[in-house]
Amino acid sequence: MTHSAPPAVPRFPVSVTVDLVIFTVRDDALHVLLVERGKEPFLGGSALPGGYVRPDEGLDEAALRELREETGLDGGRLHLEQLRSYGDPGRDPRGRVITVAYLALGPDLPAPVAGTDAARAFWAPVGEALRADSGLSFDHGAILADAVERARSKLEYTTVATSFCREPFTVSDLRHVYEVIWGIALDPSNFRRKVTRTAGFLEPTGERRTSETGRPAALYRFGGAAVMSPPLLRSGDIAGRGAGGGSGRG
């Protein structure tokens, strides 16, 4: 306070990375794509896929590139949004590293491609990934927890749940996404009424798919609408429920 001069060190060694939380619904649980780290620090530990932002690319661009590298998918029918940035000093032992976390949602994706770091990539149930706080490197446990929270709340009032379904899909496919991520059972009839009456949510294809058992279900495509209002549930507060078998976060 003795002098009002600006800080003497406006610039110092810092790196910027993007980290991806890639979600998909497999079987009856929400899964996240993790990589086994191939170098220090945390060699052999699990972490979110990610990498350094290059000098000539923007943040979204870098996230899209990493996504393509890890999953082989171009961000076509696949949701990608910025989640939040994390930059506590000491979050990376190598030095000051600010990371911009992205959230990606996609249908049951093909077998993960080996990352550019020659690290093994695999799908892990988020419940396990969160419970094994021992497992995730850096502050990726906290990032994952924030991502789960974001995904749960976005399902309430947007149509992103369709990003988890490969087109064409049935109403039951869509309902299954909600049930897995929220960890609750939804009434099939009421769910159908809600999503079919929400303008722009579902677009009928006219075809039907005959499953192994039961009456064949009509097939739909995503209708293009972004928001759903009023929200799907009247109750609102979905947060904190057990999805994917996780006991939740502290």
Binding site for DNA (CB under 7 A): 170-172, 187-190, 192-194, 196-197, 208, 210-218, 230, 232-235
Residues in touch with a copy of itself (CB under 8 A): 4-7, 9-16, 51-59, 82, 84-89, 96, 98, 100, 116-118, 157, 227, 229-231, 234-237
Sign of the torsion angle spanned by Cα atoms 236, 104, 148, 30: positive
Q: Which is nearer to DNA, 4 or 210 (CB)?
A: 210
Q: Which of DNA, a copy of itself, none is residue 123 near (CB under 5 to 8 Å by kind)? A: none
Distance CA 94, CA 14 (A): 10
Question: What is the spatial distance between Cα 14 and Cα 12, in angstroms, rounded to a whole number?
Answer: 6
Q: Minimum distance from CB of 158 to a copy of itself (Å)?
A: 11
Taking the complex as a whole, the smallest distance from the CB of residue 230 to a copy of itself amounts, in Å, to 6
* For DNA, the closer CB: 150 or 198: 198
In the complex, the smallest distance separating the C-beta of residue 57 from a copy of itself, rounded to whole angstroms, is 7
| Minimal distance, residue 191 CB to DNA, in Å | 8
CB of 58 to a copy of itself, least distance (A): 4
User: Residue 11 half-sphere exposure, CB side, CA atoms within 13 Å?
Assistant: 0
Name which of a copy of itself, DNA, none residue 212 binds, using a CB cut-off of 5 to 8 Å depending on partner kind.
DNA
Taking the C-alpha atoms of residue 83 and residue 117, their distance in angstroms, rounded to an integer, is 24
For residue 222, the minimal CB distance to DNA (Å) is 16
105 binds, among DNA, a copy of itself, none (CB under 5 to 8 A by kind): none
Closest CB to DNA among residues 4, 189: 189
Considering beta carbons, is residue 172 or 245 the nearer one to DNA? Answer: 172
Q: Which is nearer to a copy of itself, 6 or 214 (CB)?
A: 6
Q: Which option in a copy of itself, DNA, none does residue 208 bind, with CB closer than 5 to 8 A by kind?
A: DNA
Q: 54 or 208, CB closer to DNA?
A: 208
